[in-house]
Structure 1
């Protein structure tokens, strides 16, 4: 039986992962330092915690379900104590890409991060349609990177990823640097920022007297069909009027050099700010 030590088990992400791990054949050992987290684990999952040394004794996999700002400190304390060939699973590429993981050639570093359920999906249940984050009922993709370690460890890492983020539709293999381009680059710096701008734009329309409900329905409905065409979910073309609005709208909204956010130096600077 594969033994998994889950660090940060009583935190927000740890509880999500731990819930899914309860339904697997992994032997899971829960590590949590806060009293509130320990109580959550006992009340919601019915499990007790163990100390760090007991958790890693004979563990095959160690999952660090802690915030990016804590990974460096935890890793510095934890990694030197692990047995050779242990797999360390990190849930975000930021800290590994920024160099916060200790150098140790005889262990495996595996990075995995969810795509979250897509806007366009085939969810047929209410639970699936309402699972926007993923890991409960809606299928999602997962991105993996074997940062270091033997190639045969990738299969184990992928198995862990599919368990903690279940239900999983697809997993995609990338490098750690490519994962950093996906997040924070694509998902947060670009997507989240533009969505905030779109919400602010909706609020400007509401100021003219349009009801919030009307503006919200109008915007989200257009987001749906426009995105379906742009991302090739459906075949279609925009009207001449829409194309003309885009032609003038993009330069009005975006700086000419906005794509520099994907330059390696900018991605690293963003990662450093996060961690």
Structure 2
């Protein structure tokens, strides 16, 4: 295949974090499917399963499995199913994050050890576990992607605990990229701007972030899940074969402002 090709025909990928038709992961899944990839999706619990199953059917997903990264064995079961179904994997999109509400809505200095550890495990260390399980299946290289936010690099009002957690995630991306590069596995973070998703609405005063993006970003508009998906699909393609270890912004230019 031409190294500049953006097609995903023949590629097989796992999308973790599709919560509903408005989630970032769904925008990625749609873009991957439209580019020709065969997909496996996961769902968190029975409530989300009812929303995700029709979406998985819409894309003709080869697998649609439960995955709560806090439940022992579930992540391994997903990768075992992929091994049995495909025997290979070309890309993974990791789009999950969580912090207990009490810790998220308070000051970082007041965060509990338990809340911080849980946020770090779900939002960051789970990506490391995904990479470890994906590596043997990416025999011809591949793409690992995760989702960050500007709050990793700058102090964003009300983003609180997730700022340090996302900073750790971006650092993890760099270390994984260095360690997996010889295997042809590329590792990148995508940093979308403020999006109107159900998950993001859990941030205190989230409407202010949306208004700020509309009023101050160079593009004067909100990012969409489809724009994030387009970048995600590109990163999974052979055209991005030399791109690794980076954090790529899709935020209408908010990241250049102070």
* TM tier relative to shorter chain: 0.3 to 0.5
- TM-score normalised by structure 2 residue count: 0.45
Q: Which has the larger radius of gyration?
A: 1
Q: Which has the higher contact order (CA 8 A, sep 6+)?
A: 2
- TM-score normalised by structure 1 residue count: 0.42
